[in-house]
Structure 1
């Protein structure tokens, strides 16, 4: 359903403040009226991910006046797909598991807001659960569906691995794509895709372990017959969901008008909380970790050194939740995560401009054979996109990383290993205009530092 600007302006009423309490700067008349006709929105993450990837999108929604209680991001219990959708695997989910959990989240958002229909926005595998839910009985609940980088015709189209949900030849995707329209009637569909820079929409199989083998898929793979299909240029597989350019299209499609702003408006007081989740048997999950300790320090933007003492400490209970921690929106932070059987992880973050309850934490990977002999291990991580060379400026400790491949962006983590003589020193990480300084912690104490980018 497309909503006219006149209807939105008429039905919104007065909204003088943003969800976080700050007045809008300029365009007040339009800002006061735009959000009320926007349906509640549920954001759906992809394979192996969690709700926190949507944090900047939620902040942008709030900065456009959408009330915080009308947006929700799901955490699938077991976010990784099975190798064979019909065969159980520990801590992995089937397409039916995902459909069921999404349905529960839809009903919860409807209950919370009183809305008869909501909008769904999904990245990658998250779009599969959205399509599956709408096609198999949930269409009456969903007014809009936005599919961002979703491999709607598979990552490959092969005769083997036929029951893998990412196989375009398999029964799952054939079932979703059959008929004259691949978009279920009654729900407005939008697809967002890359112009050749999505690693999971490539004609060659090198990103799925078979270089030189044709996949049978092209950059047009995410498009659907019957949907509005947009190409967002050279954005990568995740950026087509989390980039400011993607936000504009998501908001415009659902609200029926352009967003009032793209930038994130800071709040005066910021409260942070989230989940600590684990990786049993080396499989990433969103299952809560009890007894984990979360400590937060304010650090220098220039050196990564701690400024003063501890500003927050909490231990998770059975639900895995930590916080809330109150911080200033200008502070650079070090978040220390300690949990039994896991690597002690020092996470360095840029300032949080707004509050969030989805600052979810997972311990860094275990130290492995490649780390043997290293005095310190520092990771630079970009959860909401990939490092593209030469597209992006990517520097860790003053050098372009050698473990990031050029061409189609495919790597979201790069690793720096330092000798024991350099433990404790600052490590500068730069991704385009975002700069984070981490400290090199001793690997001998089972510690890893992570410079986690926000953008």
Structure 2
């Protein structure tokens, strides 16, 4: 899909908070509309290879609209990556059955904690598979609403090979979820949110999954479901249809039955942060805790990235991998210095945290590899809640558009800057839209990597 800067700006600018279209199946269900109805407890479900922390800003927006923190939960799947073959065990990866069992346990816990008869589920990408699987296998009585954001409900590809790949629209798993006149389970109200063509996992050409020129058998409409309310969000990418403010509006409105009072996050006067240190054993991203890691939190200057005094918090993780809590101010720019076993020392720079969170998870950067052998310093710009889209977005790393971010349909969530040894130690600006982070380029010779991690 070829996009010009003008067409993107016209599309995004003309509909700042609108959806491009509303597609509703013949058997569509609707959410409750009573203005005074209490919002049910909400459980957020992350996608393939991700963690619960991706929902941080969504949780903040919910809290800013009066949803109590203890009536929400975000699941952290133990092994978030899917298997290549759903029926064959694969180290550090999960089956559809594994995810269904973990999600079922989380639903039971949220019901127990709140005393509610039913909960609402919101899933991003693969998280929608787990939601549909639970509901389809007897869980409809526990779930009032199901919101599926960018979930490839008809596959990332649809072919006659790889029948046990859960992302195959013609495979065993998805055929089992989609069979019948309606593709949704009666008794639960379903909403799907999808892009208008900017989702890299809903494309007709296989170049976005490593097979250029090969038809995938799916289209941009792949995330829609017969029987659901299906909404299209203009110019948003695969992740943004879950985590963007426009996605929040639709999620809240569907579950609460009314417009949110506000979209912006209301800052707290005092902020407490904590989280989990995880790792990548064997190169596979998991959410398993890492013991023996040290975490030092520093306040840094927003214009230089330099530390302002000593650490405001220091911790060493135990068997549970937890660090914190750290007490900070909502105006502070922060550096998290993570020393994790068998990994580079990782310096993670963040813009201010507007509200408290116990899902500020930290994972060491990947080891320095062959591509870094001549680098004096390595700085990574990372956007966990969306992709870096050119020409859609303002994306600047050290004053230039990153060369490793491909234009057109957004496919890259990170960009890497490698500096010569003579430039190690200087400050690097990472800019995405209005969010600006200044990081220090730590010497690679000391086995250190810096990450400028975007929140929005």
- TM-score, normalized by the shorter chain, greater than 0.5: yes
Counterpart-to-counterpart distance in 1, 2:31 and 2:186: 14
Is it true that 1:427 corresponds to 2:456 in the alignment? no
Structure 2 segments unaligned to the other structure (5+ residues):
1-29
CA shift for structure 1 position 205: 0.4
Matched with 2:195 is: 194
Superposed CA offset, 1:263-289 (max 9, x none): 000000000001111111000000000
CA distance in 1, matches of 2:71, 2:345: 35
User: Could you tell me which residue of structure 2 aligns to residue 20 of structure 1?
Assistant: none
> Which ranges of 4 or more aligned residues in structure 1 deviate by more than 6 Å?
none
| Kept after mapping to 1: 8 A contact 2:159/2:216 | yes
1:161 is displaced (CA, Å) by 1.5
1:379-394 map, 5 Å: 379-394=380-395
User: How far did 1:239 drift?
Assistant: 0.1
Q: Normalising by structure 2, what TM-score?
A: 0.93
1:94-113 alignment to 2 at 5 Å? 94-113=95-114
Instruction: List aligned pairs for 1:439-450, cutoff 5 A.
Output: 439-450=440-451
Indicate yes or no: 2:74 matched with 1:73. Answer: yes
CA contact (8 A) 2:35 2:258 kept: no
Matched residues in 2 for 1:204 and 1:339: separation? 40
Partner of 2:357: 356
1:308 aligned residue: 309
Aligned mates of 2:34, 2:82 — CA distance in 1 = 40
2: CA distance, partners of 1:290 / 1:105: 24
Partner of residue 2, structure 1: 31
Pairs within 5 Å for 1:178-327: 178-327=179-328
Q: Show the counterpart of 1:121.
A: 122
Corresponding residue for residue 438 of structure 2: 437
Q: Does 1:339 align with 2:340?
A: yes
Q: Distance in 2 between matches of 1:421 and 1:71?
A: 49
Q: How is 1:56-71 mapped onto 2 (pairs within 5 angstroms)?
A: 56-71=57-72
Shift of 1:340: 1.1
**What RMSD in Å do the two structures reach over aligned CA positions?**
0.7
C-alpha spacing 1:403/1:7, structure 2 compared with 1 (3 Å):
same
Question: CA offsets, 1:13-49, max 9 Å, x none?
Answer: xxxxxxxxxxxxxxxxxxxxxxxx0000000000000
Q: Distance in 2 between matches of 1:436 and 1:162?
A: 44
Q: Secondary structure at the match of 2:55?
A: helix
For residues 420 and 442 of structure 2, the distance between their equivalents in structure 1, rounded to whole angstroms, comes to: 11
Deviation at 1:2, TM superposition (A): 3.1
Give the 3-state SS of the residue equivalent to 2:183 in structure 1.
coil
Q: How far apart are 1:373 and its partner, in Å? A: 1.2
Post-superposition offset of 1:6: 4.1
Specify the SS of the correspondent of 1:218: coil
Q: What do residues 371-428 of structure 1 show as CA deviations (whole Å, max 9, x unaligned)? A: 0110000000000000110000000000011000000000000000001111111000
Query: In 2, distance between residues paired with 1:74 and 1:378?
Result: 30
Task: Report what 1:14 is aligned to.
Answer: none
CA distance in 1, matches of 2:365, 2:185: 40
Higher relative contact order (CA 8 A, sep 6+): 2
- Preserved CA contact (<8 Å) 2:31 2:145: no
**3-state SS of paired residue (2:417):** strand
CA distance in 1, matches of 2:237, 2:113: 34
Q: Distance in 2 between the 1:107 and 1:101 partners?
A: 10
Going from structure 1 to structure 2, the CA distance change for 1:146 and 1:368 (only over 3 Å counts) comes to same
Partner of 1:13: none
SS in 1 for 2:212: strand
Contact preservation (8 Å) 2:35, 2:257: no
1:169-216 CA distance string (max 9 Å, x none): 100000000001101110000000000000000000011111000001
Q: CA deviation at 1:308?
A: 1.1
CA distance in 2, matches of 1:7, 1:418: 57
CA apart distance, 1:341: 0.3
Distance, in Å, in 1 between the alignment partners of 2:308 and 2:35 is: 51
- 1:7 is paired with a residue whose SS is coil
Matches of 2:340 and 2:388, distance apart in 1: 29
TM-score, structure 1 length as denominator?
0.93
Count of residue pairs the alignment pairs up: 427
Whole-Å separation in 1 of the counterparts to 2:31 and 2:381? 41
Q: Give the match for residue 154 of structure 1.
A: 155
Going from structure 1 to structure 2, the CA distance change for 1:299 and 1:212 (only over 3 Å counts) comes to same
Cα distance 1:117–1:366, how it changes in 2: closer, same or farther (>3 A)?
Answer: same
Q: Aligned partners of 1:87, 1:237: CA distance in 2, in Å?
A: 28
2: CA distance, partners of 1:423 / 1:432: 26
8 A Cα contact 2:203 2:216, kept in partner: yes
